[in-house]
């Protein structure tokens, strides 16, 4: 089974090809360029170097959120277009779940954090038991202060992963919280984690058609939030 996976939920962009249990190819970019400019050239170069074609893939996978509204839309529209044209199944996975997949088992609770702006992070917690990833809470948007208090109360060892890891580490580290950063090579979300999560979903027959892919934002877009606040102010 060959899965082509992409990750466009944040500034970094990546693509990977997973064949059964083997990572056949992986490409990653953190240059600050838009995914609309870099994604398809990355995919095309990766396929060319592997002597593969899009039609060789059994399924296409991507992180559907949470994450950047623009990045998620680019990723979803790209996979929709490819999968529809080839009549292939798709797998949309949680960005937070995907990033937890690539963190080595150290016995610590995996605390996934993405910068959601406005003093918030997108967060989920996981543990690895006997090589299996166990979810401890649903994906959510919470304030950094709320997360800090929650970690204090739990009194566990934590490892931070995600594009919000450095920020959270500097804001929540204290004597009451045992926390450290994941290694640089597995700290940021990437397509290999998406492919691993997608493989599990394929095995459980959870693939969908391209038209069923939808982004998972967790929060309203900023423009929509500002519109609601304006309406509330005007109504007072």
Q: DSSP for 137-184, please give it.
A: S--EEEEHHHHHHHHHHH--EEEEESTTHHHHHHHH-BTTBEEEEPPG
Could you list the pLDDT tens digit for every one of the 236 residues in the chain? 999 999 999 999 999 999 999 999 999 998 888 899 999 999 999 999 999 999 999 999 999 999 999 999 999 999 999 999 999 999 999 999 999 999 999 899 999 999 998 899 999 999 998 888 999 999 999 999 999 999 999 989 999 999 999 999 999 998 899 999 999 999 999 999 999 999 999 999 999 999 999 999 987 655 555 565 566 667 65
Domains with residue ranges and CATH for the chain: 2-95+190-221 (3.30.420.40), 103-186 (3.30.420.40)
Supply angle C-alpha 13, 165, 116, rounded to 5.
70
Parallel, antiparallel, or unpaired for β 109-117 and 22-29? unpaired
Q: What is the pLDDT of residue 203?
A: 94
Q: What is the pLDDT of residue 131?
A: 81
- SS3 of residue 213 by DSSP: coil
Q: What is the pLDDT of residue 208?
A: 97
Q: What is the pLDDT of residue 229?
A: 57
pTM of the predicted model as reported, rounded to 2 decimal places: 0.92
Tokens coding 83: 């999968």
């Amino acid at each position: 089974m060959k899965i082509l996976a992409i990750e466009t939920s944040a500034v970094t962009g990546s693509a990977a090809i997973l064949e059964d249990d083997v990572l056949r190819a992986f490409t990653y970019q953190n240059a600050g360029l838009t995914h609309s400019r870099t994604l398809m050239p990355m995919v095309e170069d990766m396929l060319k170097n592997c002597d593969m074609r899009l039609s060789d893939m059994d399924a296409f996978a991507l992180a559907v959120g949470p994450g950047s509204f623009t990045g998620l839309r680019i990723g979803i529209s790209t996979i929709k277009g490819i999968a529809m044209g080839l009549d292939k199944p798709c797998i949309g996975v949680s960005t937070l779940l995907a990033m937890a997949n690539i963190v080595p088992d150290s016995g610590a609770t995996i605390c996934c954090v993405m910068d959601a702006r406005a003093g918030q992070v997108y967060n989920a917690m996981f543990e690895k038991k006997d090589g299996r990833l166990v979810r401890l809470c649903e994906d959510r948007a919470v304030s950094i202060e709320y997360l800090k208090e929650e970690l204090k109360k739990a009194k566990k060892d934590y490892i931070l992963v995600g594009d919000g890891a450095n920020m959270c580490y500097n804001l929540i580290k204290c004597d009451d919280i045992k926390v450290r950063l994941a290694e640089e090579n597995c700290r940021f979300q990437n397509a290999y984690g998406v492919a691993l999560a997608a493989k599990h979903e394929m095995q459980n027959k959870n693939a969908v058609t391209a038209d069923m892919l939808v982004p998972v934002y967790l929060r309203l877009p900023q423009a929509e939030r500002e519109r609601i606040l304006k309406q509330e102010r005007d109504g007072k």
